Amino acid sequence: MYKNKFKDIQISKNSNIKNSIITILGHVNHGKTSILNRIINNTYMESRNITQHIKYSYIMLKDEILTFIDTPGHEDFYKIRNLSIKITDIIILVVSVDDCVNKQTIECINYIKLNSNIPCIIVINKIDKNYDKNKIINELSKYNIVSKEWGGKYDFIYTSSKNNIGINNIITVILKYTKNIFNFNEINNNTISKGIIIESYINKNEGLKTVLIIKKGIFKVGNYISTNLEKNKKIKSIFSMNENLNISIPSMPIEITGLNKIHRFGNIIYSYNNKNLIKNIKFNNYKKKKIIEDNIINNINFNKNLNKINIILKTDVTGSCEVILKILKNIDKNINIVYYNIGNININDVNKALLSNSIIIGFNIKIDSKINKIIKNNKLIFNNYTIIYDLINDIKKIINKKNTDINKTDLNKIFKSNSIIKNIFNYSNYKIAGCKLNKGIININDNISIFRENKEIFNGKIKSMKILNNVVKEVKNNNEFGIIINNFNDIKINDILKSY
Ligand SMILES: Nc1nc2c(ncn2[C@@H]2O[C@H](COP(=O)(O)OP(=O)(O)OP(=O)(O)O)[C@@H](O)[C@H]2O)c(=O)[nH]1
Ligand SMILES: [Mg+2]
């Protein structure tokens, strides 16, 4: 019905082209993606999943572009929802009849209220199920979301994406609100064009690609681009859906090459063809923003502490990386992120995992068969995921297993001695634990477990032992002694040493 290519639109360079960004919001599972998929199928729209978190698609009508952004409903993605509102022209709030107003529905209603100048369409979905229309109208009216039918300001559309009911009404209503107009004649040598970055990702053939949506002006191959991280680079290529383009216009989602740094959702990108224009651009919020790249370097932390689950995380794009990091940190305080980055697993990641005793977690990435072999030969744990919830479940399982394993080893070991660390001395690269033997006999060949607050934090071998200045092979009779543990310096006063 609506199939058009951008090149068809370019032909009419003198015409006014309407362009709009439409963001789909709503609680998890209320049917946002299903509705967008229906719109795509009904209109032959082009679509692309950037990650499982943001999906963008657009329709090309004869003189109109509609770009849809599908947001995730899970509570952890509030940042994506919040930023999407900042770039959108029209909001669609999806509410399912069976769940009605839920936690993220309320969050989205708050965004709608804060941005009351943005037109908002309420889509009541899953009407193929049994439902009480009045109850839904009442629930929403508690939040001042009242339909035009009832004297309010919102269009209510009743849909079943399952049965393809009401979907085309959504497009009809959207078209009532589209108002941004673009004309090529507006562009001259003084135009500073502006886009909002959605993601960076690595393409095997073309290297780092930056995905963005144009908000103002044009993006053209050969023009300059600047962001808060990089200045006066040149656009090398523009790709949109299935087309390589020379030029692109407002509301088009495009992928460009030319930037070298990883950017993230919400970064602003400017384009111009005259370098002097950059003087007029203010990058004022640049320093305040935390940039993922700095963190990559700062986050290398080789912690051999057995109590921690060390993780190396590699993801397809920055958006998924940030979200997964946040979720992992909230699962358990013992999760230690050793390193994270975007891109496929490489030999450096494997080396880091070996050094730090880490699990490697991939998200939507690929793995070379040679690297996979090295991982297997070294008995490293590696898992690649495409669904975030599977990743979370597995990590939870690993944590449970780790906890039970620690308890199990405790039960199986028969300890021969028990000492407490009373002092710590530095000796070249080592730490000497000054201990008091409370019970039993400790031999230089014994295994050692170290306990802190009743939890085993390390087990390994003894490097050397001394009583006063004499190297000894054995300590007994409640003596005081100094001990260096092999490969472990993270000792603290009051740690308990048990030998077996
Ligand atoms: N019966 C019925 N089920 C639907 C309808 N629309 C979506 N569903 C189902 O509801 C579930 C969630 O649909 P999604 O489209 O993934 O929901 P979402 O809002 O995108 O979910 P998140 O992206 O996780 O926030 C799926 O199992 C769909 O098949 C509908 O109109 N009727
Ligand atoms: Mg979805």
Q: What's the CATH code of the domain at 237?
A: 2.40.30.10
Q: Tell me the residue range of the domain where 265 lies.
A: 187-280
Query: Does 110 lie in the same domain as 255?
Result: no
CB neighbours (10 Å) of residue 187? 16
CB neighbours (10 Å) of residue 85? 19
Condensed to tens digits (0 to 9), the pLDDT of residues 376-412 reads 877 788 888 887 777 888 888 777 766 665 555 555 5
Least confident of 57-66, 121-130, 250-259: 57-66
pLDDT of residue 306: 53
40 belongs to a structural domain: yes
Q: From CA 302, how far away is CA 304, in angstroms rounded?
A: 6
Query: Does 172 lie in the same domain as 133?
Result: yes
Residues 44-72 have a mean pLDDT of 72
Cα of 288 vs centre of ligand 2, distance in Å, is 31
285 belongs to a structural domain: no
**Sign (positive or negative) of CA dihedral 320, 322, 325, 326:** negative
pLDDT over threshold 60, residue 300: no
pTM for this model (two decimals): 0.62
Condensed to tens digits (0 to 9), the pLDDT of residues 263-277 reads 877 889 999 999 888
pLDDT over threshold 50, residue 492: yes
Q: From CA 485, how far away is CA 294, in angstroms rounded?
A: 34
pLDDT of residue 475: 93
Residues 192-220 have a mean pLDDT of 89
pLDDT of residue 138: 92
pLDDT of residue 358: 84
pLDDT of residue 488: 84
pLDDT of residue 305: 46
Q: Which of 280, 306, 324 is the last residue of a domain?
A: 280
Query: Does 370 lie in the same domain as 231?
Result: no
1 belongs to a structural domain: no
Residue nearest to atom 8 of ligand 1 (CA): 31
pLDDT of residue 385: 85
For ligand 1, pick from 23, 29, 164 the residue to mutate: most ligand atoms within 8 Å of CB: 29
Q: Is the CB of 73 under 6 A from ligand 1?
A: yes
- Ligand with an atom nearest the CA of residue 388: 1
Percentage of the chain lying above the pLDDT 90 cut: 36
Query: Does 453 lie in the same domain as 490?
Result: yes
Q: From CA 75, how far away is CA 411, in angstroms rounded?
A: 40
Q: Is the CB of 104 under 6 A from ligand 1?
A: no
164 belongs to a structural domain: yes
Query: Does 209 lie in the same domain as 172?
Result: no
Q: From CA 189, how far away is CA 277, in angstroms rounded?
A: 9
Q: What's the CATH code of the domain at 327?
A: 3.40.50.10050
Query: Does 428 lie in the same domain as 399?
Result: no
Q: Is the CB of 34 under 6 A from ligand 1?
A: yes
Condensed to tens digits (0 to 9), the pLDDT of residues 166-188 reads 999 999 999 999 999 998 888 88
Query: Does 24 lie in the same domain as 165?
Result: yes
Q: Is the CB of 28 under 6 A from ligand 1?
A: yes
Q: Which of 217-231, 261-275, 287-301 has the highest mean pLDDT?
A: 217-231
Residues 13-35 have a mean pLDDT of 89
Residues 411-421 have a mean pLDDT of 80
Q: From CA 191, how far away is CA 462, in angstroms rounded?
A: 70
Q: From CA 418, how far away is CA 421, in angstroms rounded?
A: 10
Which atom of ligand 1 is closest in space to residue 163's alpha carbon? 31
pLDDT over threshold 60, residue 190: yes
Count of structural domains, the chain: 4
Instruction: Print the SS3 string covering the chain.
Output: CCCCCHHHHHHCCCCCEEEEEEEEEECCCCCHHHHHHHHHHHHCCEEEECCCCCEEEEEECCCEEEEEEECCCCHHHHHHHHHHHHHCCEEEEEEECCCCCCHHHHHHHHHHHHCCCCCEEEEEECCCCCCCHHHHHHHHHCCCCCEHHHCCCEEEEECECCCCECHHHHHHHHHHHCCCEECHHHCCCCCCEEEEEEEEEEECCCEEEEEEEEEECCEECCCEEECCCCCCEECCEEEECCEEECEECCCCEEEEECCCCCCCCCCEEEEECCHHHHHHCCCCCCCCCCCHHHHHHHCCCCCCCCCCEEEEEEECEHHHHHHHHHHHHHHCCCEEEEEEEECCCCHHHHHHHHHHCCEEEEECCCCCHHHHHHHHHCCCCEEEECCHHHHHHHHHHHHHHHHHHHHHHHHHCCCCEEEEEEEEEEECCEEEEEEEEEEECEECCCEEEEEECCEEEEEEEEEEEEECCEECCEECCCCEEEEEECCCCCCCCCCEEEEC
Least confident of 51-65, 71-85, 261-275, 402-416: 402-416
At residue 188, what are phi and psi to the nearest 5 degrees? -140, -170
Least confident of 197-206, 361-370, 380-389, 403-412: 403-412
Q: What's the CATH code of the domain at 177?
A: 3.40.50.300
Query: Does 374 lie in the same domain as 333?
Result: yes
